Structure 1
Amino acid sequence: MVALIKIHLSKVLGTKRMTQAELARRTDIRPNTINEIYHELIERINLEHLDKICEVLDCEISDLIEYVPKSRKDNNSR
């Protein structure tokens, strides 16, 4: 089974009361890219984008990205 990486951009944006459009504008990242990250549709993420997002949202990478080990996935699926 493939490792699961969860992206919590939607939660962080909600906490900061910021829209995807505002984040895109403030980071100079394409709105479509922000949307793909927000909805966890992205397969690869640019490190420069992560840096810009963390800077604008004043957060750590660990606030945005979570690794879910296989054992946690298996236990949650029961």
Structure 2
Amino acid sequence: MDVTKSIVSYEAAAYGHVRVKLAEMLDSRGITRNKLRTLTGAKYEVIDRYYKAVNVEMVDLDFIAKVCYVLECKVEDLLEYKSEE
């Protein structure tokens, strides 16, 4: 049986959220935001927003790809889906 969920009738909190884990990744490797700026060429403000996980409503896939490349990690090392169930 096909059990497909619809979010049309759910409230925002009901379907979960995506957690940004950039701070954990950088801190565990001893890499500063300034060093990541140098390695990726991304603006410090962008890195800081992801690092603090504040006001990240849409993910910049190019930025995530750059971070994965320079840190030699996977997308799931930087982003994690947390369901509310």
> C-alpha displacement at 1:3, in angstroms?
2.3
Percent of pairs with identical residues: 25
Q: CA–CA distance in 2 between the matches of 1:59 and 1:51?
A: 10
Structure 1 length normalisation: TM-score?
Answer: 0.85
Q: CA–CA distance in 1 between the matches of 2:50 and 2:44?
A: 10
- The answer as to whether partners of 1:16 and 1:57 remain within 8 angstroms in 2 is no
Q: CA–CA distance in 1 between the matches of 2:57 and 2:38?
A: 22
> Aligned Cα RMSD in Å?
1.0
Hey, which bits of structure 1, 4+ residues long, moved more than 2 A? none
* Equivalent position amino acid for 1:65 in 2: L
1:6 counterpart SS class:
strand
Gaps of 5+ in 1: 72-78
* Equivalent position amino acid for 1:67 in 2: Y
Larger Rg: 2
Aligned to 2:61: 47
1:23 counterpart SS class:
helix
Task: Spell out, residue by residue over 1:44-71, the C-alpha distance to the aligned partner (whole angstroms, 9 max, x if none).
Answer: 1211111000011111000100000011
Gaps of 5+ in 2: 1-12
- How does 1:1-78 map onto structure 2 within 5 Å? 1=13, 3-41=16-54, 42-71=56-85
Structure 2 length normalisation: TM-score?
Answer: 0.78
Q: CA–CA distance in 1 between the matches of 2:16 and 2:34?
A: 30
